[in-house]
Amino acid sequence: MSPPHLMTLADLTVPQLKRVLAHSHYQKQLALPWLAPQPKFIGTAPRLRMPSQSLFNKSIALLFAKRSTRTRLSAETAAVLLGGKALFLGRDDIQLGVNESPRDTARVIGGMCQGIFARVGDHSEIEELAKYSPVPVLNALSSLWHPTQILADLLTLHEHAHLFSEGSPPPPSADSPRSKKPANLPTLRPLTITWLGDSTNVLHDMLVTYPRLGHKIRVATPPQTAYQCPTPVWDRVKELGCEQHISWSSDPKEAVHGADVVVTDTWISMGQEAEKVQRLKDFEGYQVTEELCREGGANPNWKFLHCLPRKPDEVDDEVFYGPRSLVFPESDNRKWTILALFDLLFGKWDLSAPSSSK
Ligand code: CP
Ligand code: NVA
């Protein structure tokens, strides 16, 4: 049997996406009480629930050619909760790229570890690793895609579904006693989700995912060719029938019209530092602010997402630190969605759906 890999959320069917999300929510509720202060057991001890231990005695290689805070922390802490260990292998730690090919590296790591979570430069590098790896490879960010980010964004939106539906009460806190039965993932109404910025790896996974789950996407990028969607990504968007639910313009005010959620990313992705001056010029008028969204006619109740790390260029402090911002729950959810994928992909080799995800 060849190992399952995940390069982009375009690789998953809608039932598979829903399964991973539900599994993330479920595992989060199982794990959180273990991280909270211990309850005092008086009388009969409650039935103990804990996250999956599918990585017990297993090791996961974190092959990171680029910097990371959230993705690395999520991977390392999730592996602990799943009973396993993550080994961080930075660009200067191993032979890859200097003395050794991706093909040989994949085979060697696969002989000792049970999964590879890889952050690479060009997307072809992770495709090459996956081609030769005897164990599952999960994309931790490449030039084209950032699948684990969009799973975290989706989990965050579902958890905050009450904010988008008048009158719905918030779900009960996940910090429940260990004995409490985990709640189902809250249902999310169809949303209009606006992206302001350039066509980055983060946007690309949104484009192939949100429309399939019933959401509309409105994008504004500066008009220059460099900021448009790369052909291999747009081909996947079309293949999945998503393009009919996406509108694209170069006017940020037009793009925020009717937005329930506004999303952006740094204007200078890792590796683009030399283009900083030109980019700051090209993105004038794209900063997410209250004023822009009011003038553009966003839903008055709009919320804000950002993958982080954030610079004040793309979003001002009022929005970023204000009540609309879901960025820190979004960041926390990197861990729970990565934990779910590690469990299913590395621990169980099973991303199939539907089935019992518990
Ligand atoms: N959002 C994200 O991928 O953050 P890091 O680069 O810090 O991992
Ligand atoms: N687009 C950004 C995302 C960082 C998480 C980058 O590739 O650097």
Domain extents in the chain: 9-146+333-347, 191-325
| Identity at 144, one-letter amino acid code | L
Q: How confident is the model at residue 358 (pLDDT cuts 50, 70, 90)?
A: very low
ipTM above 0.95, yes or no: yes
How many residues make up the chain in this entry?
Answer: 358
Q: How confident is the model at residue 33 (pLDDT cuts 50, 70, 90)?
A: confident
State whether the beta carbon of 184 lies less than 6 angstroms from ligand 1.
no
* Rounded CA separation 192/302 (Å): 10
State whether the beta carbon of 27 lies less than 6 angstroms from ligand 1.
no
Q: Give the pLDDT confidence score for residue 41 in this predicted structure.
A: 60
Q: Are strands 115-119 and 59-64 parallel, antiparallel or unpaired?
A: parallel
Residues 6 or more apart whose CB falls under 8 angstroms from that of 5 comprise 11, 130, 133, 136, 137, 138
* CATH fold of the domain at 191-325: Rossmann fold (3.40.50)
- Give distance in angstroms: CA of 29 to centre of ligand 1: 23
Tell me the backbone φ, ψ of residue 196, rounded to 5 degrees.
-120, 125
Q: Is the pLDDT of residue 37 over 80?
A: no
Query: Which ligand has an atom closest to residue 307 CA?
Result: 1
Question: Which of 120, 150, 266, 307 is the best mutation target for the ligand 1 pocket, counting ligand atoms within 8 Å of the beta carbon and taking the most?
Answer: 307
Q: Give the pLDDT confidence score for residue 357 in this predicted structure.
A: 42
Ligand 2 closest atom vs CA 265: 1
End-to-end CA distance of the chain: 24
- Give distance in angstroms: CA of 182 to centre of ligand 2: 33
3-state secondary structure of 100: strand
Query: Which ligand has an atom closest to residue 204 CA?
Result: 2
How confident is the model over 132-158, as pLDDT tens digits? Answer: 999 999 999 999 999 999 999 999 999
Please give the average per-residue pLDDT across 152-180, as a whole number.
78
pTM of the model: 0.94
Contact 24, 318 (CB under 8 A): no
Tell me the backbone φ, ψ of residue 6, rounded to 5 degrees.
-135, 110
Question: Which of 62, 64, 68, 306 is the best mutation target for the ligand 1 pocket, counting ligand atoms within 8 Å of the beta carbon and taking the most?
Answer: 68
State whether the beta carbon of 199 lies less than 6 angstroms from ligand 2.
no
Q: Is the pLDDT of residue 169 over 80?
A: no
Nearest CA, atom 1, ligand 2: 269
Q: Give the pLDDT confidence score for residue 182 in this predicted structure.
A: 83
Q: Give the pLDDT confidence score for residue 352 in this predicted structure.
A: 86
How confident is the model over 74-125, as pLDDT tens digits? Answer: 999 999 999 999 999 999 999 898 899 999 999 999 999 999 999 999 999 9
Residues 6 or more apart whose CB falls under 8 angstroms from that of 197 comprise 203, 221, 264, 265, 266, 267, 283, 286, 314
- Give distance in angstroms: CA of 349 to centre of ligand 2: 28
Was domain 9-146+333-347 assigned CATH 3.40.50.1370? yes
Contact 193, 210 (CB under 8 A): yes
307 classed as catalytic: yes
Q: How confident is the model at residue 294 (pLDDT cuts 50, 70, 90)?
A: very high
Q: Please provide the DSSP assignment of 55-86 as one string.
A: TTT-EEEEEESS--SHHHHHHHHHHHHTT-EE
Nearest CA, atom 2, ligand 2: 269
Q: How confident is the model at residue 47 (pLDDT cuts 50, 70, 90)?
A: low
Nearest CA, atom 3, ligand 2: 269
Asked if the domains at 9-146+333-347 and 191-325 fall in one CATH topology, the answer is yes
Average model confidence (pLDDT) across the chain? 93
Of the given ranges (17-31, 150-164, 185-199, 342-356), which has the lowest mean pLDDT? 342-356
Q: Give the pLDDT confidence score for residue 44 in this predicted structure.
A: 63
Q: DSSP code of 342? A: I
Please give the average per-residue pLDDT across 3-21, as a whole number.
97
